[in-house]
Structure 1
């Protein structure tokens, strides 16, 4: 249980990585390409950065079982989606339609891949370290 609590608090690091990634996109390469291409590149960069962060975490605090890994991933996924919608809608004032827009893979929006990675990364690194 202590490990799950450490990983739950460590989710804040994922938020920090996401904020840095978004700032890099908006202040850097966004002006050099379309909004969709910038979104896609940002998602790929986010996948890599999240992977590095989770690798560091799993080397610091060993995950004891696949069940624990899935619990951590599920907690991270719930926190991420909750944060995105609560912060995005109630703090930033974005309409629900804008928030849901990034979930449309058929329109090239790749955000859902980052959510999937957030959920399965703890299990992936747990298995790789066994």
Structure 2
């Protein structure tokens, strides 16, 4: 990836990070007291995934990267997300490794794995829409 494009991709990821921090604060301060922690986490995760997808679409529409560059952006965003979650989560915010790993347990209702999946997949080209059958609009 070219340096400018890489800088723009990192800037877009920083916007995703800002969304995550803002949504996380809103979840803790407003939503969790109203609907409980697990429901608030689920709502926050799904909202963040939507924000990531919207930011990725805007980025792709604006910069028109090749399919290979889109894959590179997705891998970059996913790596940055995982690095931030684990390294900042543990060393900056003091979250235990056990708590960080517990967020990966979808069997217990944790939806966190959807976030790195969204960062990885959102920049990729969408599959083509199905074609209408002959004689149908």
Q: Does the pair score TM above 0.5?
A: yes
Secondary structure of the structure 2 residue equivalent to 1:83 = helix
Secondary structure of the structure 2 residue equivalent to 1:123 = coil
CA distance in 2, matches of 1:9, 1:46: 17
Aligned to 2:50: 48
Unaligned runs of 5+ in 2: 129-137
Unaligned runs of 5+ in 1: none
- 4+ residue runs over 6 A deviation: none
Alignment map for 1:1-130 (pairs within 5 Å): 1=2, 2-63=4-65, 65-124=66-125
TM-score normalised over the length of structure 2: 0.85
Pairwise CA RMSD of aligned residues? 1.5
Between structures 1 and 2, the one with greater helix share:
1
Residue 69 of structure 1: how far off its partner (Å): 0.7
Q: Is the CA contact 1:4–1:68 (under 8 Å) kept in the aligned structure 2?
A: no
CA distance in 2, matches of 1:36, 1:26: 11
CA distance in 1, matches of 2:47, 2:14: 18
Higher relative contact order at CA 8 Å, sep ≥6: structure 1 or structure 2? 1
